[in-house]
Amino acid sequence: MNLYDILRRPIVTEKNTMLAEGGKYVFEVATQANKIQIRRAVETAFKVDVVTVNVVHMPGKMRRVGKSRGLTSSWKKAIVTLKAGQKIEVFEGV
């Protein structure tokens, strides 16, 4: 699996911005990716040292358009904790 296949996008929300102040960053990742692959991808892409990786499976939500109902896709979220004093600049600019 390629580095760019593992990390889909950074998740920038109000809660995640507060986490970033403590050195924790949140990414949407590939559903097949494991913690070791996520750690290597973040370290390679952003040149930082990763301390821990926590993974959460986010279930799809029920959505309606008129009479028809459907389910959005499930996805995987990774919360990456960096070594003290390090940060990822992508999140700082937003």
Each of the 94 residues of the chain gets a pLDDT tens digit; together they read 888 899 999 999 999 999 999 999 999 999 999 999 999 999 999 999 999 999 999 999 999 999 999 999 999 999 999 999 999 987 665 5
Structure token digits, residue 3: 């580095």
Superfamily of domain 3-64+72-86: RRM (RNA recognition motif) domain (3.30.70.330)
pLDDT of residue 91: 66
pLDDT of residue 73: 96
Which phi and psi (to 5°) does residue 50 adopt?
A: -95, 130
Q: How far is CA 91 from CA 24, 40, 64, in A?
A: 11, 19, 33
Domain ranges across the chain: 3-64+72-86
pLDDT of residue 60: 96
The total of other beta-carbon atoms located within 10 Å of residue 25's CB is: 24
Q: What is the dihedral of CA 25, 30, 35, 37, to 10 degrees?
A: -100
pLDDT of residue 33: 96
